[in-house]
Amino acid sequence: MKIAEIEIFLNYGHLVIGSVGDPDFDLLVAERQTSDINHVKVITRAQIAPVRIRVWRGAAPGQAGLHR
């Protein structure tokens, strides 16, 4: 089930998604994907065009096992 969708510009090589408040990990030190109880940090590719981000509970339809 899709629970969120947003279109944003990504100016940096990472994106943090989560609730209000600061994450428990240091954004300047954590260079890889990481998470805490309320946040997840993912590695991205900065682009000049908008990027659509979809958040799914469970696997997205037709995307199970897809690795890029």
Specify the pLDDT at position 30: 61
Confidence of residue 65 (pLDDT cuts 50, 70, 90): low
Structure tokens at 63: 């995307």
User: Of the candidates 9, 4, 3, 2, which has an alpha carbon nearest to the alpha carbon of residue 51?
Assistant: 9
Closest CA to 29 of 47, 19, 14: 14
Residue 4: φ, ψ to 5°: -165, 155
Q: Is the pLDDT of residue 66 over 60?
A: no
Q: Residues 11-51: pLDDT tens digits?
A: 877 888 888 888 988 877 766 888 899 998 888 877 778 88
Q: pTM to 2 decimals?
A: 0.63
Rounded CA separation 34/27 (Å): 10
